[in-house]
Structure 1
């Protein structure tokens, strides 16, 4: 990214109905977004960006780090994922080696080989003449020691100190940035601070004083915490950028459209105007918004909010006003053009409660296959009654399966379902109609890592389901 507080966006594709890549290219260009991070460098996605001049960051998955340690494999990966596309006028500029590989935020597994993989990638970049490509590693906030009360107290976790020192030496040699990932609403909640501290325009009296520096929002607190930690390992001038920052719209206290809109309304102009932080005033900070669109198959280790980061719905419609230019205009971003919805019909429960056990089984089945996270306590559909809960689950499955199947009626559910043509949405709970699934993700970019992530996603859903089922049965 260039100087001047650049604003990019992340695009994850763990969803049952995906926007066609060419539509996304148009969407980005129409909204003035010139920087994109892809978690899966799929061939069909990358080719859509030919000639667009969008600067693309590609990710080497954690599960593939071992692979590039083998002789010649780093050079081969770069040839397949970077140079091949450079030759087709596709502007790949950054490689992220792993995704928060030292973090225990999502699970207890860490990838201690990440530095070795980064070194191999950087050596191959230098040896093979990739003059305009840099490589680095992203880090979540939990690489810092826990329970810090002031930024000046921050330091890297003791068990990670050797790894972080090694990592900083590697990126110093190549002038690559330190990439920080954070989720403001989660960080504030974990510290039991006032939720107002999440916002740049903090409207409460809550602030944190640190040796004359006043912190009125969590972004400045976390950013300066990392600056202090970098000072303590001898890297005070390292470029620090945000690789992931966003606000979910469902599945967590305070996660809603209104708060997401407010967060970005204050945050993006703050970035574009180079406000800096108390420790680094006037600094130009590059950021990637998380994320472009909903991902109804995303992993939910921490909760259902992990599927609701998208600025856009899966239909390509924006959920709230946001000005990606950072000028603070009160506008909706451009809607994706060319999207075709499936027919306006819904699958709902026929209200036959003569066998509650059968209803529960069919509800359970629907939610194991489809995304029912909005039904969880605190979600946008948590206010539904018994029949509406079942209807919502049936419809999510119905839409995920494109409203039909070769085997017959997809809305049968042991004679408990029926198709209707009047929208059954209730208040804040939207019963969606999905887009036609004209495009399927090329999973080659994720390789074995993708398959593993999907299996974990399934187990996480099984953890969440009992909460939804208990909530459902309370209505019986």
Structure 2
């Protein structure tokens, strides 16, 4: 009896803390991805967020190290669940109870982590997934909602499903509609979101429209005016973001939810790896987007009503991401992998410029380059090995290191591998074709990286990206939890 009474008191204290009045909430947040060969310490990243007054962050999975670092920070968190876990979470409320206990209720305590959203899957309706995740979305949502209710968090932690913009389509924004094969599922999803006070989360990428079509007018991707405006009745669209946003508004309206709040889960512009991915374009796009959103101008279908929140993609470069979407995929960060600002950006949150990460611990200032005294004619296999392990995407056409010549390419590949291997002596051998230098070989905009020291090896967050390992992890944690309970 005493234990039960104590538990109720603790619950009341936490609820009071959660619902206490808070200051004005900025609309700009960031996505914090962790797929990097050179991970900053999570505490360093949280300090970076705080120094830049970024009060909203989106995580793609429940990384214990990141969540521990976020404790007591006051930063609002959208916590992601990988698509590969949806089948497990849809299987039973026992499964969802386990996930909520381990990843939400243990952290949402006084002076804990301020988890506001749980993102159930990430773009699970993508056409390229051929519907493989669709059957699990609604069952997972319903189970998780019950599990949150059991721990008295259902009214505070909102469930959302980040959707890609390919979930809807139209020739003109006012004609927007969800894909025919998704209409029934989207009706269920939007009804669920509306019933539980959750917003619709969408990822919008004008860069990908430009990248995917040679006919797409480049000016239309930005916010500085265009000669390729789109006229839709009395509405005129001068940028792709507004056009895409209103296409979603029209699609929601067709389902009877035209006023549903919308959150932009991902939006941004890469800085390297291909044509049109560069520092100038990224700065122009992101600053234009921020100014546009914070102006409260809204869009033709929602005048004076911009998105509730906008999460820039992303916070840091992620050199270990898949390049399947394109060689630009590892270069979305507004900061480089080591937390250094790539370009001036005013987030509208206080400081007019980005503030760099502090106390970053680098490896020694040395690099691996091609040995000028050796015949390099047999180097191709070594380069392939180096680039299959490390990141060489800046050497791609349009990349910042594309013009450094054949020997420069070899040196860049060698050094990338050398840094990933934490500068281990043998990792610069390459059958005698490599050599260590203490002179920085960077040239022009092409930066030869020096790695940072990492505090941990492979983490659970990395394991989530392998479906086979996901299930092993699930089974192990299930057994461990039962044993502990």
TM-score by length of 2: 0.87
**Equivalent in the alignment of 1:465:** none
Question: Is residue 2:279 matched to residue 1:257?
Answer: yes
**Equivalent in the alignment of 2:77:** 56
Are the equivalent residues in 2 in contact too, given 1:4–1:272 (CA < 8 A)?
no
Which residue of 452, 455, 480 maps to 1:435? 452
Name the SS for the 2:122 alignment partner: coil
**Equivalent in the alignment of 1:127:** 150
Question: Is residue 2:67 matched to residue 1:46?
Answer: yes
**Equivalent in the alignment of 1:458:** none
Distance 1:454 1:242 in 2: 30
For 1:261-309, what per-residue CA distance to the aligned partner results, in whole angstroms no more than 9, with x for missing partners? 1112221122122110011010031100000101000122211111000
Are the equivalent residues in 2 in contact too, given 1:185–1:195 (CA < 8 A)?
no
Distance 1:251 1:229 in 2: 34
Are the equivalent residues in 2 in contact too, given 1:315–1:339 (CA < 8 A)?
yes
Are the equivalent residues in 2 in contact too, given 1:293–1:313 (CA < 8 A)?
yes
**Equivalent in the alignment of 2:370:** 349
Distance 2:398 2:223 in 1: 24
**Equivalent in the alignment of 2:191:** 169
Give 1:153 shift. Answer: 2.3
**Equivalent in the alignment of 1:215:** 237
**Equivalent in the alignment of 1:403:** 423
Which residue of 155, 158, 165 maps to 1:141? 165
Name the SS for the 1:123 alignment partner: helix
Give 1:451 shift. Answer: 2.2
Question: Is residue 2:413 matched to residue 1:393?
Answer: yes
- Name stretches of at least 5 consecutive residues in structure 2 with no aligned partner: 1-21, 471-485
- Name stretches of at least 5 consecutive residues in structure 1 with no aligned partner: 456-476
Question: Is residue 2:112 matched to residue 1:97?
Answer: no
**Equivalent in the alignment of 2:5:** none
Report the aligned-residue RMSD: 2.1
Which residue of 176, 198, 204 maps to 1:154? 176
Distance 1:378 1:115 in 2: 42
**Equivalent in the alignment of 1:18:** 39
Question: Is residue 2:250 matched to residue 1:233?
Answer: no
For 1:14-41, what per-residue CA distance to the aligned partner results, in whole angstroms no more than 9, with x for missing partners? 0011111111111111111100101121
Distance 1:217 1:353 in 2: 53
Are the equivalent residues in 1 in contact too, given 2:54–2:349 (CA < 8 A)?
no
Question: Is residue 2:381 matched to residue 1:361?
Answer: yes
Name the SS for the 1:422 alignment partner: coil
Which residue of 310, 320, 330 maps to 2:343? 320
Give 1:452 shift. Answer: 4.0
In the superposition, relative to structure 1, how do residues 137 and 76 fare at CA in structure 2: closer, same or farther (>3 Å)? same
Name the SS for the 2:302 alignment partner: coil
Moved more, 346-355 or 77-86: 346-355
Give 1:128 shift. Answer: 2.9
Give 1:332 shift. Answer: 3.0
Are the equivalent residues in 2 in contact too, given 1:59–1:95 (CA < 8 A)?
yes
Are the equivalent residues in 2 in contact too, given 1:144–1:154 (CA < 8 A)?
yes
Are the equivalent residues in 2 in contact too, given 1:208–1:216 (CA < 8 A)?
yes
Name the SS for the 1:172 alignment partner: helix
Give 1:353 shift. Answer: 6.4
Are the equivalent residues in 1 in contact too, given 2:376–2:433 (CA < 8 A)?
no
Are the equivalent residues in 2 in contact too, given 1:189–1:195 (CA < 8 A)?
no
Distance 1:138 1:281 in 2: 23
**Equivalent in the alignment of 1:375:** 395
Give 1:109 shift. Answer: 6.0
Aligned residues: 443
In the superposition, relative to structure 1, how do residues 337 and 417 fare at CA in structure 2: closer, same or farther (>3 Å)? same
